[in-house]
Amino acid sequence: MRPTVRDVAEEAGVSLATVDRVLNRRAGVREATIARVEAAVARLGFVRDLAAANLAKQRSYRFVFIIPSGPNIFMRTLEQQAVEAGRRGAALDRISVEVVPVPPFDGAALARALDALDTDTVSGVALVATDSAPVREALSRLHAAGLPVVTLVSDVPAFRRSHYVGIDNVAAGRTAASLIGRFVGGRRGKIALVAGSMLVRDHVERRMGFDQVIRAEFPHLECLPVLEGRDDAEITGQVLAACLAQQPDVVGLYNIGAGNRGIIKVLSGNPAYRQLVVVAHELTPHARNALREGLFDAVIGQDAGHEARSAIRILKAHIDGMPVVEGQEHIRIEIYLRDNLP
């Protein structure tokens, strides 16, 4: 028979109320008493039934996901997956998920959205972060209020957030460089790089990792300055078309962010561009077709559903005072070629 809270209380020689306070990490219990209760828990092998405890206490979790608005398909998928994960957790774990859209790459708008949160009713926050002073200040205020915060996809390492959920973006950039360098082979030339904005940490880190590998392992290739397409297909297509028209010796292209539709339009419009080695991010329907048609050589992906579910699990673990299972929450870098499309 599984040990109960009453068994822990008897083993520790304290009241049920004291055990409850210790398990829920509430104030008002002496350190010596906390040690006795924790020792009793360890001796008995007591494991809390959090679902039952939360149901009895009518505890609920209201999580807010702040995600960039706009046509970025990956962000729309992340939004859908967060809502779906919240829907699945509604009955058993009393979880609700609200998505708050903000303009992409707009630190001031993101800071306003964070400041508008009611810390008395919101249980935790997950956000795709823009690294700016107003955002860091807003996040610090949430931290001071005791609200757990998880950063998604793009981190803000200077801020003491509860957790980051996403791929290792430096490693992703290094992976892209290795793929392009190997696919290009011995050809000399330049690499065009397109990012959404260098105001977001994930794009900065991908560029940094890409540069490291190109400089160290493929010195015959030269990285051009980063073009910013704002993760918008139209803008991305315009800046890329202008670059390729001015740089006839481009042999490779790395799309660090979104805007793949703009890149596909440019590559499809000129047969000469079929010779470019192209690596992009996120296996969207457009990227999948580009792989099939040979316009893209590789796509680096991450599982939006895993990230949404992981953010919810981590926020809940912080609230419940439970450990985070790091292996379960690790987001893998996925590499797709035409030959291994799911």
pLDDT given at position 8? 83
Q: How would residue 111 be classed by pLDDT, with cut points 50, 70 and 90?
A: very high
pLDDT over 90 at 247, yes or no: yes
pLDDT given at position 92? 65
- How large is the average pLDDT for residues 141-169? 89
Q: What is the pLDDT of residues 52-106, one digit of tens each?
A: 555 445 568 999 999 999 999 999 999 999 999 998 877 667 899 999 999 999 9
Closest of 129, 203, 187, 179 to residue 297, by C-alpha: 179
Which residues does 341 contact at the CB level (< 8 Å), separation at least 6? Answer: 283, 288, 291, 292
pLDDT given at position 51? 53
Ramachandran assignment for 30, one of left (phi > 0), alpha (psi -120 to 50 degrees), beta (any other): beta
pLDDT given at position 56? 46
Q: How would residue 323 be classed by pLDDT, with cut points 50, 70 and 90?
A: confident
Q: Which residue has the higher pLDDT, 327 or 251?
A: 251
Alpha helix stretches (DSSP H) within 218-270? 233-246, 260-268
Ordered by where they begin, the domains of the chain are 5-48 (1.10.260.40), 61-166+304-330 (3.40.50.2300), 169-301 (3.40.50.2300)
The answer to whether 123 and 59 have CB atoms below 8 angstroms apart is no
- How large is the average pLDDT for residues 175-182? 98
Q: How would residue 2 be classed by pLDDT, with cut points 50, 70 and 90?
A: confident
pLDDT given at position 322? 78
- The least confident of 29-43, 221-235, 269-283 is 29-43
pLDDT given at position 46? 78
> What would the 3-class secondary structure string for 50-96 be?
HHHHHHHCCCCEEEEEEEECCCCHHHHHHHHHHHHHHHHHHHHHCEE
pLDDT given at position 32? 87
pLDDT over 90 at 150, yes or no: yes
Q: In this prediction, what percent of the chain has a pLDDT beyond 70?
A: 94
pLDDT given at position 88? 87
Q: What is the pLDDT of residues 271-282, one digit of tens each?
A: 999 999 999 999
- How large is the average pLDDT for residues 321-333? 89
Burial of 26 (0-12, 13-18, 19+ CB in 10 A): exposed
